[in-house]
């Protein structure tokens, strides 16, 4: 099969690999029809995530068709169309039994602090991902769901992470009617977090980024007020002015490890790997939320330490909430919202790239060329 393969920082290529075998009785092999490149894939691509091995196939957002099932799989048969959450999870461990699917304890031998994620380094379990023609899906009876007949395939692939995570970010904010919500990051997750904030009754939604074309999308797609932080001397002061010096009720960090806005923070983390991530957006979130407010973190960070302004968080009495999204818990409600026309996730897709050209896709997305917001990968096995 053809598959994207990591060759070292900033370098990938497409190679011929063996179709993955069934390794466990509840495995399925899925023929991938659509995949996506996630902003967090860029952390792997830039060599930031420890134990990212040459030869690994990335990709935790994908949908496809069941090709083969293990002996204990009961819910699916070859030919079924499925959407697969980015979480690999067993369904029965301490955490899964409480709905914390992203924190499963039975699927990642390499680390206890994070669950299993497809194509996301050995730190997240060492599973090859879906930027390939075929992928192994463990616990096929637990994670995947059939794609509803009425659902657009591009909407389905965005439900496997970006939309579920954005909605989860708004939910972690515990938004109540009339709240002012600030979202750092106008990438896919930030756009969905902003859009979801309205569903939860926000009174104002403000999106902050430095890419004008993404802010334009935040205005048209997510009905948000926008600020380009690169145009202000101090975005925190602007946020205070914008909220009558109170600060926002809820701030969502939808940026994560490669945040821009402070040269030293960015370079020491993204370039020199001396921090688990550049906590600029997180520090700005702590600074711009009101005292007693809530900071929600759905941006991804690496496992090492980061220079976070924890003293301010403590002194302001903040509630910090964060996690990887338990995707499947979000799905029934998100299905409803898509069906009702409240959400149309595929509106943010800007690029559809054949698997053979995935190296260009990564560069376009990483360097923010061509007004790229969300690139999808089209495999040749369709």
Partner 1 sequence: MPYTANKPTRARSSEELRAEIPGWGADLDPKDRPSVPREKFDPDLNGARWEFPERQPEKWPRERSIEHKFLTPVFGTSTPPKGLSGAIRKYSYKKYSEGRAAHWLLLLAADRVDAWEHHLASFATLRPDNPITQTGVLSEFTRHGIASRTGTKRADLNHQWMDPIIVGGPWLVMGGLAVAAARRLARLRQT
User: Footprint of partner 1 on residues 129-158 (CB under 8 A)?
Assistant: 136, 138-139, 141-142
What string of H, E and C letters represents the secondary structure of 54-79?
CCCCCCCCEEEEEEEECCCCCCCCCC
Torsional sign, CA 129, 135, 139, 142: positive
Cβ neighbors of 164 (< 8 A, separation 6 or more) are: 85, 325, 327, 330, 331, 334
Query: Scanning residues 56 to 85, which ones bind partner 1 (CB under 8 A)?
Result: 56-57, 72, 74
Task: Please give the helix or strand (H or E) that residue 261 lies within, else none.
Answer: none
**From candidates 19, 65, 80, 204, binder to partner 1 by CB under 8 A:** 204
Told to check if 247 binds partner 1 by CB under 8 A, we report yes
Told to check if 53 binds partner 1 by CB under 8 A, we report yes
Told to check if 90 binds partner 1 by CB under 8 A, we report yes
Stretch that binds partner 1, among 2-10, 59-67, 151-159, 181-189 (CB under 8 A): 2-10
Told to check if 54 binds partner 1 by CB under 8 A, we report yes
For residue 258, the tally of other CB atoms under 10 A from its CB is: 23
Stretch that binds partner 1, among 24-32, 59-67, 76-84, 309-317 (CB under 8 A): 24-32
Q: Residue 10 Cβ, how far from partner 1 at the closest point, in Å?
A: 5
Q: What is the DSSP string of 89-150?
A: --S-STTGGGT-GGG-SSS-TT-SSS-EETTSTGGGT----SSBSEEEESSTTTS-EEPPTT
**From candidates 131, 165, 226, 243, binder to partner 1 by CB under 8 A:** 243
Told to check if 246 binds partner 1 by CB under 8 A, we report yes
**Nearest-angstrom CA–CA distance, 208 and 260:** 12
Told to check if 301 binds partner 1 by CB under 8 A, we report no
Query: Scanning residues 269 to 288, which ones bind partner 1 (CB under 8 A)?
Result: 270-271, 273, 276
Cβ neighbors of 298 (< 8 A, separation 6 or more) are: 165, 166, 168, 169, 172, 189, 193, 252, 253, 254, 256, 322, 323, 325
**Nearest-angstrom CA–CA distance, 120 and 300:** 12
Which C-beta is closer to partner 1: that of 223 or that of 310? Answer: 223
282 CB burial (10 A radius; 0-12, 13-18, 19+): buried
Which C-beta is closer to partner 1: that of 152 or that of 268? Answer: 268
Q: Residue 196 Cβ, how far from partner 1 at the closest point, in Å?
A: 8
Stretch that binds partner 1, among 59-67, 150-158, 183-191, 328-336 (CB under 8 A): 328-336
**From candidates 18, 149, 150, 177, binder to partner 1 by CB under 8 A:** 177
Query: Scanning residues 28 to 47, which ones bind partner 1 (CB under 8 A)?
Result: 47
Told to check if 123 binds partner 1 by CB under 8 A, we report yes
Torsional sign, CA 9, 14, 17, 23: positive
Told to check if 292 binds partner 1 by CB under 8 A, we report no
Measure CA of the first residue to CA of the last residue in the chain; give whole Å: 12
Query: Scanning residues 305 to 324, which ones bind partner 1 (CB under 8 A)?
Result: 305
Which C-beta is closer to partner 1: that of 57 or that of 288? Answer: 57
**Nearest-angstrom CA–CA distance, 380 and 382:** 6
Stretch that binds partner 1, among 34-42, 151-159, 199-207, 307-315 (CB under 8 A): 199-207
**From candidates 229, 293, 294, 301, binder to partner 1 by CB under 8 A:** 229
Pairing of strands 81-84, 62-69: antiparallel
**From candidates 19, 199, 236, 349, binder to partner 1 by CB under 8 A:** 199
Query: Scanning residues 338 to 377, which ones bind partner 1 (CB under 8 A)?
Result: 340-343, 359-364, 367-371
How many residues at the interface with partner 1, by CB under 8 A? 118
Q: Residue 62 Cβ, how far from partner 1 at the closest point, in Å?
A: 15
Cα–Cα distance list, 280 to 218, 253, 256, 323 (Å): 20, 10, 8, 18
């Amino acid at each position: 099969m053809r598959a994207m393969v990591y060759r070292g920082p900033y370098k990938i290529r497409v190679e011929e690999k063996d179709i993955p075998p069934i390794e466990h009785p509840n495995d399925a092999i899925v023929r991938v029809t659509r995949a996506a490149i996630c902003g967090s894939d860029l952390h792997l691509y830039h060599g930031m995530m420890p134990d990212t091995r040459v030869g690994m196939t990335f990709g935790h957002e994908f949908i496809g068709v069941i090709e083969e099932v293990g002996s204990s799989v009961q819910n699916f048969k070859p030919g079924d169309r499925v959407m697969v959450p980015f979480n690999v999870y067993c369904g029965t461990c301490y955490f899964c039994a409480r709905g914390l699917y992203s924190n499963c304890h039975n699927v990642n031998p390499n680390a206890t602090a994070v669950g299993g994620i497809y194509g996301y380094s050995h730190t997240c379990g060492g599973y090859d991902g879906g930027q390939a023609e075929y992928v192994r899906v463990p616990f096929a009876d637990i994670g995947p769901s059939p794609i509803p007949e009425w659902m657009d395939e591009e909407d389905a692939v965005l439900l496997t992470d970006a939309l579920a995570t954005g909605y989860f970010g708004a939910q972690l904010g515990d938004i109540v009617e009339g709240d002012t919500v600030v979202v750092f990051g106008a990438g896919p997750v930030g756009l969905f977090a902003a859009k979801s904030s309205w569903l939860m009754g926000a009174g104002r939604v403000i999106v902050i980024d430095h890419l004008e074309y993404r802010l334009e999308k935040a205005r048209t797609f997510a009905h948000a007020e926008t600020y380009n932080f690169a145009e202000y001397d101090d975005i925190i002061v602007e946020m205070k002015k914008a909220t009558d010096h109170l600060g926002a009720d809820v701030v969502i960090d939808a940026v994560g490890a490669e945040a821009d806005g402070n040269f030293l923070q960015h370079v020491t983390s993204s370039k020199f790997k001396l921090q688990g991530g550049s906590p600029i957006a997180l520090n700005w979130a702590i600074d711009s939320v009101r005292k007693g407010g809530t900071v929600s973190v759905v941006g991804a960070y690496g496992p090492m330490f980061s220079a976070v302004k924890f003293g301010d968080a403590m002194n302001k009495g903040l509630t910090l909430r964060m996690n990887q999204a338990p995707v499947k818990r979000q799905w029934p409600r998100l299905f409803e919202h898509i069906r009702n026309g409240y959400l149309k996730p595929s509106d943010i897709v800007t690029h559809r790239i054949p698997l053979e050209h995935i190296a260009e896709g990564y560069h376009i997305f990483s360097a923010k060329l061509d007004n790229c917001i969300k690139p999808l990968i089209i495999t040749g096995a369709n």
